Amino acid sequence: MRCPVCQYPDSKVLDSRPANEGREIRRRRECLQCHQRFTSYERIEEAPIWVVKKDGQRESFNRAKILRGMLTACEKRPITLEQLEQVAEAVEREVRDQHTGEVSSQHIGQLVMNRLQVVDQVAYVRFASVYRQFTDIEGFRQELERLIHPHHNQEG
């Protein structure tokens, strides 16, 4: 494994342990040249999942894209990167467990929102504003109403 600091092509493994509920192996490594320590993850290459966008285009599932969207929504919020990575991992796991081949971008967005709402409601509303493409304050108001009165909205 190439060192991320000096780019030396070899390192030694110091420690290996299961991660992500046994779906990955986490390895602590040390560069044989500069002695910098870093972490790598090894995971099984899974069959590709295609995301069907609103316009019908398809692209491969990309957990990093989910993480970037959440990072934007969580800017200046008291949320750790680890929390967001856990959300992204949970969304990916659910997509892979429930779908074979294709999943809609709307479904992925809803999965992210469901989990983000539990983590931080402000970040949830920010994410929802982009995901649902709010065009005015009324969209925000309706979403806030759903947050404030969740049972009222289900009855109607």
CA 92 to CA 108: how far, in whole Å?
A: 9
pLDDT of residue 153: 55
The pLDDT score that the predictor gives to residue 10 is 96
Q: Are 50 and 96 in contact (CB under 8 A)?
A: no
pLDDT digit string (tens) for the chain, length 156 residues: 899 999 999 999 999 999 877 888 999 999 999 999 999 999 887 788 999 998 999 999 999 999 999 999 999 999 999 999 999 999 998 998 887 789 999 999 999 999 999 999 999 989 988 887 777 888 878 888 888 887 765 544
- Token pair listed for 2: 């190439």
User: What is residue 154's predicted lDDT score, i.e. its pLDDT?
Assistant: 53
DSSP per-residue letters across the chain: ---TTT--S-EEEEEEEEETTTTEEEEEEEETTT--EEEEEEE--PPP-EEE-TTS-EEE--HHHHHHHHHHHTTTSS--HHHHHHHHHHHHHHHHHH-SSEEEHHHHHHHHHHHHHHH-HHHHHHHHHHHTT--SHHHHHHHHHHHH-HHHHHH-
- Record the pTM: 0.67
**What is Dmax (Cα atoms) for the chain?**
66
Distance CA 108, CA 61 (A): 10
What is the structure's pLDDT at 156? 45
Written as one letter, the residue type at 76 is: K
Residue 49 near residue 99 (C-beta atoms within 8 A): yes
- For residue 128, CA distances in Å to 23, 52, 87, 104, 140 come to 30, 19, 15, 16, 9
